[in-house]
């Protein structure tokens, strides 16, 4: 680390404009101005790991009113590689997407490599999962990478310790949080682009006192927004909701709050009600490719024999192109026949469903009818088919 | 066969309107009126085997100016099955495609099953390739199936004998042609829908005298159009062109001429010049999914390392969405990363390329500049990369 790095506490860049426009209990609606456009919150960000949201064109995403997508720094760093991203002038230009992009820091992926990585104060050394070559990710390098990507929102480099089955002890959690704080400061010092916002990631597992302590370390620093990291990694759902309920209201009122890697439709409504503004998750895309549809009546496994002659739309309450133009019977046929169109049409519906749900939550917050909206959602989901 | 079947020579249905509008040597432009719309010829029909052109939505097909697609009776009969097609009111409604569809008769697929089929005068008994169940295809049943599908153009049930390596002897060819003629008559007698046109398939391999004899048997019958079957099945290219050159001009001037299962861009220009009006082939879709692009400069294998940092479009002369919005480097990245978008974008370009090529042929015929157009095409293709 250079000794001439800027003081991380210094406000060198204007923070992104974010205004809370409406409130309903802890839930809020807001508007966030990013380099590539305005985003209304609460918002769901489809995951576009390697420079494409699997199965959808940018045009299809726009038709579904997707306002912002997520890219994965680790994957983009490996493929197509920074030189290729740089030649294109960034990820937006390369993938023909002119709306905002948020990128993670790569931390989550690198720590998941387990046997293949070594954590040092400087950063994480790892062998990649493709050809085993060795790399070093540091707070400085991941900021530089995200600036090459040209992310509207960059995430600080953090350590995300496993919870649940592989639970780590408090002492490990404490050491890891302290390192994450030091790395967060180095990320701030490493920033050079005023048009790439930077969010911090708060950790602490489901230990509320540790979470509290981490907030106290990170909140004084000039981040554009704050993420709740380290959840939805194996812990029980009620524990996750409790943690969000305790932490979200303590995040700055005037900064966006992002719950990373979450979640199911149920998670979205529960956590919006607890004050979260931003979500990302692979469920609508990954499960879509496996033939699982999210609907107002719960989940649907389209390959089931019961849909062979089902002439209804996937979701009678949905106005997406899949539900407007195609029957369940045809979708099942495409899925059974392993046709590419199946993955496209199912993913298209799922993304529409998530975006409609989050849009419904925004409308309900504005109308002050959030509880009724959530009760209606849950009543519908209770009809989910068994096994889905 | 019922003894009350209508006389196959009887003109029970009005033949589809087809007008030749322009000529240039043996090549011709025409207009064909089908139940789902008008089609300009020469035309290329993308293959939509199982009720979807692999990798493309109906909207993407329309954006590429696709006027007619091909469906495979054998595959649709097995999956989704006739009951499901019937419940939808036909293939158009099921797959959300309101332009014309031509279906083959299933003969080609059934005869390809080799060990799994028995040919009888009545029809062909076979075990399907999916679960091995036994079925019988007869001329009557394949017409009934195509009428359930609701094809704008149905094909008669024929036997397509193998050529090339597995060449069959003349005696086999003669017997097979005679049977194809008897079956063609039974197909005519089996028709019930005036809105589903019926084309005959002329056989005879590359033996010109046998071809001649088959034409004499089939031309007096009231078919809406005539296909040249049994080519592009293993014979050498010059033999194929010779056969087309000899046969096409002998087909009725006032009926569309369809060369089945052909072919490469080279085949299209060579055979349009010899008087063919209609083509279908899996090359642009199948090769597209394998990363092979057809361009004005020949074929391109997008996975090659040389494209890793290539910032150019696939084909500078192409105005398709793939060439307009994406670089070769990005397409290569998608292909190497096995992203679904790769198959979509490459197929999209290939279909645009084929449709632009056939549209260019039409324009050149009208302008009387076909030779110059073809020479320009060939000059471009001569730059094809090695190995492509």
Domain ranges for chain A: 18-281, 289-381
**For residue A192, what pLDDT is reported?**
98
**For residue A189, what pLDDT is reported?**
98
What band does A294 get if pLDDT is binned at 50, 70 and 90? very high
Q: Can you tell me the distance from the alpha carbon of A186 to that of A162, in angstroms, rounded to the nearest whole number?
A: 23
A74 is written with which tokens? 């680790």
Report whether the peptide linkage leading into residue A80 is cis, meaning its omega lies within 30 degrees of zero.
yes
Give me the residue from B55, B83, B343 closest to A309, CB to CB: B83
The answer, for B62 touching chain A at a CB cutoff of 8 Å, is no
pLDDT at B386 over 90: no
Helix (H, G, I), strand (E, B) or coil at A100: coil
Distance of CA A139 to the CA centre of its chain: 20
Q: Contact A274/A244 with Cβ under 8 angstroms?
A: yes
The answer, for A290 touching chain B at a CB cutoff of 8 Å, is no
Distance of CA A168 to the CA centre of its chain: 24
Q: Can you tell me the distance from the alpha carbon of A69 to that of A67, in angstroms, rounded to the nearest whole number?
A: 7
pLDDT at A162 over 90: no
The number of beta carbons lying within 10 Å of the beta carbon of residue A59 is 13
Q: Contact B244/B261 with Cβ under 8 angstroms?
A: no
* pTM for the full predicted model: 0.96
Tokens 């005869």: give the residue: B111
For the segment B373-385, what is each residue's pLDDT rounded down to a tens digit?
999 999 999 988 7
Helix (H, G, I), strand (E, B) or coil at A290: coil
How distant is the Cα of A333 from the closest Cα of chain B, in angstroms? 6
CB contact under 8 A, B96 and A326: yes
Q: Beta strand B292-295 with B278-281: parallel, antiparallel or unpaired?
A: unpaired
pLDDT at B387 over 70: no
Give me the residue from B51, B330, B341 closest to A57, CB to CB: B341
CB contact under 8 A, A79 and B325: no
The number of beta carbons lying within 10 Å of the beta carbon of residue B15 is 14
For the segment B221-271, what is each residue's pLDDT rounded down to a tens digit?
999 999 999 898 888 999 999 999 999 999 999 999 999 999 999 999 999
Residue of A330, A238, A320, A326 whose CA lies nearest to A284: A320
Q: What is the maximal distance between C-alpha atoms in chain A?
A: 69
For residue B248, CA distances in Å to B39, B212, B240 come to: 20, 11, 12
pLDDT at B166 over 60: no
CB contact under 8 A, B334 and A88: no
R_g of chain B, CA atoms, integer Å: 21
Give me the residue from B327, B336, B339 closest to A88, CB to CB: B327
The answer, for B297 touching chain A at a CB cutoff of 8 Å, is no
Contacts of B325 in chain A (CB under 8 A): 96
Q: Give B18-280's CATH code, choosing from 3.40.640.10, 3.40.50.620, 3.20.20.105, 3.40.50.1860.
A: 3.20.20.105
DSSP state of B14: P
Residue of A113, A127, A190 whose CA lies nearest to A159: A113
Q: Which residues between 69 and 98 in chain A have a beta carbon less than 8 angstroms from any beta carbon of chain B?
A: 79-80, 83-84, 87-88, 94-96
**For residue A206, what pLDDT is reported?**
87
CB contact under 8 A, B96 and A341: no
Q: Which residues between 215 and 274 in chain B have a beta carbon less than 8 angstroms from any beta carbon of chain A?
A: none
A157-175 average pLDDT score: 77
Phi-psi region of B126 (alpha: psi -120 to 50; beta: other; left: phi over 0): beta
Report whether the peptide linkage leading into residue A112 is cis, meaning its omega lies within 30 degrees of zero.
no
Q: Which contiguous run of DSSP H or E holds residue A305?
A: none
For the segment B199-216, what is each residue's pLDDT rounded down to a tens digit?
999 999 888 999 999 999
A262 is written with which tokens? 């979450």
**For residue B163, what pLDDT is reported?**
64
B41-69 average pLDDT score: 98
CB contact under 8 A, A54 and B340: yes
Q: Hey, which residues of A are catalytic here?
A: 104, 280
Q: Beta strand B153-155 with B101-103: parallel, antiparallel or unpaired?
A: parallel
B108-121 average pLDDT score: 87
Give the residue on B whose Cα is nearest the Cα of A56.
B341
B292 is written with which tokens? 């092979």
Tell me yes or no: is domain A18-281 CATH 3.40.640.10.
no
Q: Which residues between 268 and 287 in chain B have a beta carbon less than 8 angstroms from any beta carbon of chain A?
A: none
How distant is the Cα of B384 from the closest Cα of chain A, in angstroms? 25
Q: Contact B27/B244 with Cβ under 8 angstroms?
A: no
Residue of A229, A115, A241 whose CA lies nearest to A161: A229
Q: Contact B80/A329 with Cβ under 8 angstroms?
A: yes
DSSP string, A353-366: HHHHHHHHHHHHHH
**For residue B233, what pLDDT is reported?**
82
**For residue A386, what pLDDT is reported?**
67
- The residue of A48, A330, A338, A346 whose CB has the most chain B CBs within 10 angstroms, and thus the best one to mutate to test that interface, is A330
Give the residue on B whose Cα is nearest the Cα of A285.
B340
Q: Can you tell me the distance from the alpha carbon of B350 to that of B322, in angstroms, rounded to the nearest whole number?
A: 10
For the segment A4-39, what is each residue's pLDDT rounded down to a tens digit?
899 999 999 999 999 999 999 999 999 999 999 999
Residue of A384, A365, A88 whose CA lies nearest to B331: A88
Q: Which contiguous run of DSSP H or E holds residue B276?
A: none
A310-328 average pLDDT score: 98
- Percent above pLDDT 70 for chain B: 97
Q: Half-sphere exposure of B203 toward its Cβ, with a 13 Å CA cutoff?
A: 26
- Percent above pLDDT 90 for chain B: 87
Q: Using alpha carbons only, what angle is made at residue B47 by residues B41 and B48, rounded to the nearest 5 degrees? A: 125
Q: Hey, which residues of B are catalytic here?
A: 104, 280
B5-20 average pLDDT score: 96
CB contact under 8 A, A88 and B311: yes
For the segment B212-222, what is each residue's pLDDT rounded down to a tens digit?
999 999 999 99
The answer, for B343 touching chain A at a CB cutoff of 8 Å, is yes
A332 is written with which tokens? 């099942």
Tokens 């480099």: give the residue: A157
CB contact under 8 A, B340 and A336: no
Q: Can you tell me the distance from the alpha carbon of A85 to that of A172, in angstroms, rounded to the nearest whole number?
A: 36
Q: Can you tell me the distance from the alpha carbon of A258 to that of B246, in angstroms, rounded to the nearest whole number?
A: 71
The residue ranges of DSSP E strands in B86-239, in sequence order, are 101-103, 117-119, 124-127, 134-137, 153-155, 197-202, 225-228
Q: Can you tell me the distance from the alpha carbon of B317 to that of B306, in angstroms, rounded to the nearest whole number?
A: 20
CB contact under 8 A, A337 and B308: no
Residue of A214, A186, A189, A216 whose CA lies nearest to A201: A214
Q: How many residues does chain A have?
A: 388
pLDDT at A79 over 60: yes
CB contact under 8 A, B87 and A343: no
The number of beta carbons lying within 10 Å of the beta carbon of residue B203 is 25
**For residue B213, what pLDDT is reported?**
95
Give me the residue from A83, A308, A330 closest to B94, CB to CB: A330
Q: Can you tell me the distance from the alpha carbon of B365 to that of B26, in angstroms, rounded to the nearest whole number?
A: 10
CB contact under 8 A, A94 and B51: no
CB contact under 8 A, B84 and A308: yes
How distant is the Cα of A40 from the closest Cα of chain B, in angstroms? 27
For residue B364, CA distances in Å to B29, B43, B233 come to: 10, 14, 29
3-state DSSP percent of chain B in helix, strand and coil, to 5: 45, 20, 40
**For residue B385, what pLDDT is reported?**
77
Contacts of B87 (CB under 8 A, 6+ apart): A309, A311, A329
A130 is written with which tokens? 């493709």
Q: Beta strand A298-301 with B153-155: parallel, antiparallel or unpaired?
A: unpaired
Give me the residue from B51, B54, B308 closest to A84, CB to CB: B308
Tokens 């995951």: give the residue: A47
Q: Using alpha carbons only, what angle is made at residue B83 by residues B80 and B85, rounded to the nearest 5 degrees? A: 60
For the segment A245-286, what is each residue's pLDDT rounded down to a tens digit?
999 999 999 999 999 999 999 999 999 999 999 999 999 999
Give the residue on A whose Cα is nearest the Cα of B94.
A330
Contacts of B143 (CB under 8 A, 6+ apart): B154, B157, B187, B190, B191, B198
DSSP string, B101-146: EEE--SHHHHHHTGGGEEE-SS-EEEE-TTT--EEEE-HHHHHHHH
What band does A163 get if pLDDT is binned at 50, 70 and 90? low
DSSP state of A60: H
pLDDT at B140 over 70: yes
Contacts of B118 (CB under 8 A, 6+ apart): B124, B125, B126
What band does A384 get if pLDDT is binned at 50, 70 and 90? confident
């Amino acid at each position: 680390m250079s000794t001439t790095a800027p003081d991380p506490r210094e406000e060198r860049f204007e923070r992104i404009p974010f205004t809370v426009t409406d409130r309903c209990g802890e839930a809020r609606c807001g508007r966030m101005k990013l380099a590539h456009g305005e985003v209304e919150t609460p918002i769901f960000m489809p995951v576009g790991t390697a420079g494409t949201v699997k199965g959808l064109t940018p045009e299809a995403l726009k038709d579904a009113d997707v306002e912002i997508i997520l890219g994965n720094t680790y994957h983009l760093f490996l493929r197509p590689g920074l030189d290729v991203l740089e030649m294109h002038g960034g990820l937006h230009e390369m993938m023909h997407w002119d709306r905002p992009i948020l990128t993670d820091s790569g931390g989550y992926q690198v720590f998941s490599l387990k046997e293949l990585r070594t954590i040092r104060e400087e950063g994480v050394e790892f062998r990649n999962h493709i050809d085993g070559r060795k790399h070093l990710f540091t707070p400085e390098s991941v900021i530089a990478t995200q600036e090459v990507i040209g992310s509207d929102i960059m995430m600080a480099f953090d350590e995300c310790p496993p919870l649940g089955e592989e639970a780590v002890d408090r002492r490990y959690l404490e050491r890891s949080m302290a390192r994450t704080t030091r790395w967060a400061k180095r990320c701030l010092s490493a920033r050079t682009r005023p048009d790439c916002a930077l969010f911090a990631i708060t950790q602490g597992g489901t230990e509320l006192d540790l979470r509290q302590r981490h907030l106290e370390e990170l909140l004084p620093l000039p981040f554009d927004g704050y993420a709740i990291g380290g959840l939805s990694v194996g812990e029980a759902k009620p524990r996750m909701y409790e943690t969000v309920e305790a932490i979200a209201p303590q995040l700055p009122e005037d900064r966006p709050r992002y719950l990373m890697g979450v979640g199911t439709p149920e998670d979205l409504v529960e956590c919006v009600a607890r004050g979260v503004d931003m979500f990302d998750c692979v469920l609508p895309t990954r499960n879509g490719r496996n033939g699982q549809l999210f609907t107002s009546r719960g989940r649907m496994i389209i390959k089931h024999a019961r849909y062979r002659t089902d002439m209804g739309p996937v979701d009678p309450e949905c106005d997406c192109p899949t539900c407007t133009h195609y029957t369940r019977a045809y979708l099942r046929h495409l899925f059974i026949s392993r046709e590419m169109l199946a993955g496209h049409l199912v993913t298209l519906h799922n993304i529409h469903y998530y975006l409609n749900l989050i849009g419904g939550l925004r409308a309900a917050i504005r109308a002050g009818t959030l509880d009724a909206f959530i009760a209606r959602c849950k009543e519908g989901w209770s009809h989910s088919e068994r096994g889905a």
